[in-house]
Amino acid sequence: MIRRLFPHPYLSAVLVVVWMLLVNRFAWGSLVFAIILSIAIPAMTSPYWPDRARLRHPGKILAYVLLVLRDIITANIQVAMIVLFKPNRLLQPAWITVPLDLRSPEAITVLAGTITLTPGTVSADLSQDGHALLVHCLHAPDPASVIDDIKSRYEARLKEIFE
């Protein structure tokens, strides 16, 4: 019964939180409406999302978000330093291929988003069957270390959360 009512429990929880933040002021009426939305929207969208991702360790999401936030701040400072103080001729931009161990589309999406938000890297494309990510680096004298960094820092953690 509960399973039928909430086919995507995490999506429902996120919807309640987002609705309450949108309203921006606590009222029981809006909470009731948020719960109605959190039942209606997953029910209406579930045909479009047949194989939903299973979260193995949802508790580790918070640790991952904090890690990414910290990396975003350091990334900003690094990129700002490169933009301000590195002459263009010393810049070594590079394309790198990151082979993926992740298989679920949701996990790959999160990884690609994280790569774009963090130090000097933008994810540009996925290989045809989803086995590798194409990443562009702003300044990468040593591309191999960038790949290792992405795999050990983010991919390993996402693998724990999703698979």
Partner 1 sequence: MDQIAEILISAVLVIGGIFGLVGSFGLVKLPDQMTRLHAPTKAATLGVGGVLIASICWFGFFSDQGSWHELLITLFLFLTAPITGLMIAKTNMHLTWRPEELPYPGEDMHWATYGDSAERSLMDAVPEIDRAERDHRE
Q: Which helix (H) or strand (E) holds 106?
A: helix 105-117
CA dist 81 and 17 (Å) reads: 37
- 108 counts as binding partner 1 under rule CB under 8 A: yes
Nearest to 150 by CA among 43, 45, 75: 75
> In terms of DSSP bridges, do strands 94-99 and 132-137 run parallel, antiparallel, or are they unpaired?
antiparallel
- Residue 42 or 110: which CB sits closer to partner 1? 110
Residue 17: how many CA atoms within 13 Å on its side-chain side? 6
Does the footprint of partner 1 cover residue 13 (CB under 8 A)? no
**Is 58 a binder of partner 1 (CB under 8 A)?**
no
List the x/- string, 115-154, binding to partner 1 by CB under 8 A. xxxx-x-xxxxxxxxxxx-x-x-x----------------
Among the candidate windows 14-22, 34-42, 56-64, 151-159, which touches partner 1 by CB under 8 A? 14-22
In the complex with partner 1, the residue whose CB is nearer, 61 or 117, is 117
CB atoms within 10 A of CB 80: 10
Q: At what angle do helices 9-23 and 28-45 cross, to 10 degrees?
A: 140
Nearest to 96 by CA among 55, 58, 151: 151
Q: 5 vs 56, which CB is nearer to partner 1?
A: 56
Nearer to partner 1, 1 or 26 (CB): 26
* 141 burial type by CB count under 10 A (0-12 exposed, 13-18 middle, 19+ buried): exposed
Binding-site size, partner 1 (CB under 8 A): 46
Q: Is 104 near partner 1 (CB under 8 A)?
A: yes
Binding site for partner 1 (CB under 8 A): 18, 21-22, 24-25, 51, 72-73, 75-76, 79-80, 83-84, 88, 91, 93, 95-97, 99, 103-105, 108, 112-113, 115-118, 120, 122-132, 134, 136, 138
